[in-house]
Structure 1
Amino acid sequence: MEKAYTIDQQIAQLKSNGMMFDDEEKAKEILLDVGYYRLGFYSFPYEIKFPCLEHRDHKLKLGTTFKSVYDLYEFDTRLRRLLLNALDRIEVNIRTKFIYNISLRYIDDPCWFVNRKYVTSNFVNAFEEQVYAAMRKNPIIQHHHANHPGIYAPAWKTIEFMTIGNIITLYDSLKETDAKDLVANAYGCSRGVFYNYMETIRVLRNKCAHGGCIYRMDFPRGIKRLPADISADCRHNIKGGIDVVRYILGCISQTRKTELENEIHNLVCSIQTDEAKKVVAQTSKLEY
């Protein structure tokens, strides 16, 4: 059974794996801040057996420094923060366009999202238990029900508090293709591509929000190449995900898109060690 290491044992273990240190005291400070296990996610690309992670022995390539591993961690952390800011802006915009377009299309029914005429029965059947039950605890929704009759709050209140996953499911559950087109066309997409891009955004957003390691994250389903102009070799990696974010941001505001591109460019340029720069270029495909 594995046992916890003291900070000195952690340093010793890293040394035995081939890691080099410029300042061991600083390294101890970082390990006590970030954590030995978490920092290990950023040593993967420096391991001799990478990218094969089966039967790992954690042995590092000759010349691997603690600084280069921490450099990669810092890059990943700062990239995650940049993307969270952009993803928040995108989520708000998608939510707004969805509420606006579909609520006006079904203007006679403020609760169109549970109307079987417009939405599939599977979504309606699961809505109360899987979506609205938790929402009923929201003070704003409680205030609505205290002042207005009806089982549910109208779409512009209810959908405002749905998760991005709920919204994607609701979009997919719309019966009328013309209704789906109203939202998808606002972003220059067909229905299938828009759904694919929303799923990409959902996966990326959840990974970022939970502090996940994103520099080498994978999108198993693959990202649609157009209209976001995704390179063939980036349909499954973080570069492809970022290109979707850039594309959707551009549909919202060219200024915001340019700001993100400049921020990522500056971030890549700020990487201090050549080893980390090489990892980012090879693994993340980011070379802004």
Structure 2
Amino acid sequence: MQYSKPPLSIDEQVTRLTQRGLVCENPERLKHYLTHIGYYRLSAYWLPFEQPPVEPNSRNHNFEAGTTFDRVLDLYDFDRKLRLLVMNAIERIEVAIRTCWANAMAMRHGSHAHMDSELFKDPWQHQRDLAALSREIEKSSEVFIKHYLDQYSKPLLPPIWATVEMMSFGQLSYWFSNTKSTEIKKEVMQSLKLPTIEVLEKVMHTLTPVRNTAAHHGRLWNRQFPMTLPEIKRLRERVVPNNAPNRLGHRIFNYLVIIEYLKSVINPTGQWKSQLMSLLGTVSESDLMAMGFPGDWLEREPWVGVA
């Protein structure tokens, strides 16, 4: 089937939404946000307020009675603030893993350990990862990268503690998984107080799409992520089981649990948890359920008793 829907002007978008039952006392305000946020982006937040479809695998488009634009906008604003908090925490986690891995590699194998294929399980994968990293360095405008390239001709790449700064979280995950030394991996694992190397590798792998969604302004609220976190015995009572109905284990709640755990290991005196709790207090119970929050989440660690 060929797509044939014509584009709508902002005024036409306002008309369509009000005809479908969206309550907005100030059409100019609605027009403003449609202009600066966009109909398509906002539609993800008003979709739950639409009436049930008449037929399976269809969409009604008409809003439940009393649905206001302010309600939709509040949900959008909540999600924007949640993304900022999640990015803040994952940045700390990412930097901690980068730093520990690079230091362990350098202390055992020298400043350019990342260039030695013998230190990696799959030398072909290492060569592909190294080539991708070299391209990132070649086009980088970072002062520390330009300084190295201007000052030194060999080795071709900067030392590992500089080069690692050019890795995305996803790239770091692959470099870490391909590292041959169990002792190096164990050092990173122990620094984060995780039980096994396999758990750390899967945590890195599963947090990558969460990080990328937040970094690219995607929706965290009510999103289902493709992977589930590994089972961690000490966190078992905190999370929703991976096999919970309606794929609740794939929603952001479980990820917030592991993010909070790692963040508390890295920065025990930080305010991230209380900031998150304050934000969560601004939305309804149904909004929390859409993110996979269980009904008794406030009675579980680490949220119990947090002001």
> Structure 1-normalised TM-score?
0.88
Alpha-carbon separation, structure 2, partners of 1:159 and 1:86: 19
Which 4+ runs in 1 deviate beyond 3 A? 285-288
Aligned to 1:84: 87
Alpha-carbon separation, structure 1, partners of 2:7 and 2:43: 14
Within the candidate set 146, 167, 182, 2:172 is matched to 167
Alpha-carbon separation, structure 2, partners of 1:128 and 1:178: 22
2:144 matches 1:130: no
Aligned to 2:257: 243
Alpha-carbon separation, structure 2, partners of 1:114 and 1:142: 19
Letter in 2 for 1:161: M
Alpha-carbon separation, structure 2, partners of 1:142 and 1:53: 58
Q: CA offset at residue 278 of structure 1?
A: 4.1
Within the candidate set 287, 292, 305, 1:285 is matched to 292
Within the candidate set 203, 216, 222, 2:222 is matched to 216
**For 1:11-30, what aligned pairs fall within 5 Å after superposition?**
11-30=14-33
Q: Give the aligned CA root-mean-square deviation in angstroms.
A: 2.2
Alpha-carbon separation, structure 1, partners of 2:173 and 2:205: 7
Alpha-carbon separation, structure 1, partners of 2:156 and 2:36: 49
Letter in 2 for 1:284: M
Q: CA offset at residue 114 of structure 1?
A: 2.6
149-158 or 65-74: bigger deviation: 149-158
The one-character-per-residue Cα deviations of 1:81-129 (angstroms, maximum 9, x if unpaired) are 12222222222111111111222232xx322223222112023321343
Alpha-carbon separation, structure 2, partners of 1:61 and 1:150: 64
2:232 matches 1:205: no
Contact 1:123 1:170 in 2 (8 A): no
2:161 matches 1:152: no
Alpha-carbon separation, structure 2, partners of 1:281 and 1:125: 44
Alpha-carbon separation, structure 1, partners of 2:18 and 2:128: 54
66-75 or 81-90: bigger deviation: 81-90
Alpha-carbon separation, structure 1, partners of 2:113 and 2:77: 46
Alpha carbons of 1:20 and 1:161: their partners in 2 closer, same or farther (altered >3 Å)? Answer: same
Aligned to 1:37: 40
Aligned to 2:8: 5
Alpha-carbon separation, structure 2, partners of 1:223 and 1:128: 28
Contact 1:118 1:174 in 2 (8 A): yes
Alpha carbons of 1:46 and 1:284: their partners in 2 closer, same or farther (altered >3 Å)? Answer: same
Query: What is the count of residue pairs matched by the alignment?
Result: 278
Alpha-carbon separation, structure 1, partners of 2:239 and 2:282: 25
**For 1:188-199, what aligned pairs fall within 5 Å after superposition?**
188-189=193-194, 190-199=196-205
Aligned to 1:274: none
2:44 matches 1:64: no
66-75 or 12-21: bigger deviation: 12-21
Alpha-carbon separation, structure 2, partners of 1:74 and 1:136: 38
Alpha-carbon separation, structure 2, partners of 1:225 and 1:49: 36
Alpha carbons of 1:22 and 1:278: their partners in 2 closer, same or farther (altered >3 Å)? Answer: farther
For residue 45 of structure 2, give the secondary structure of its aligned residue in structure 1: coil
Alpha carbons of 1:48 and 1:105: their partners in 2 closer, same or farther (altered >3 Å)? Answer: farther
Contact 1:237 1:284 in 2 (8 A): yes
Q: CA offset at residue 48 of structure 1?
A: 2.7
Which protein, 1 or 2, shows the higher relative CO under an 8 Å CA cutoff with sep ≥ 6? 1
Contact 1:84 1:209 in 2 (8 A): yes
Aligned to 1:141: 145
Aligned to 1:267: 279
Q: CA offset at residue 209 of structure 1?
A: 0.9
Alpha-carbon separation, structure 2, partners of 1:153 and 1:127: 15
> Structure 2-normalised TM-score?
0.83
Letter in 2 for 1:266: S
Q: Which structure 1 segments of 5+ residues have no match?
A: 272-276
Q: CA offset at residue 53 of structure 1?
A: 9.5
Alpha-carbon separation, structure 1, partners of 2:136 and 2:288: 43
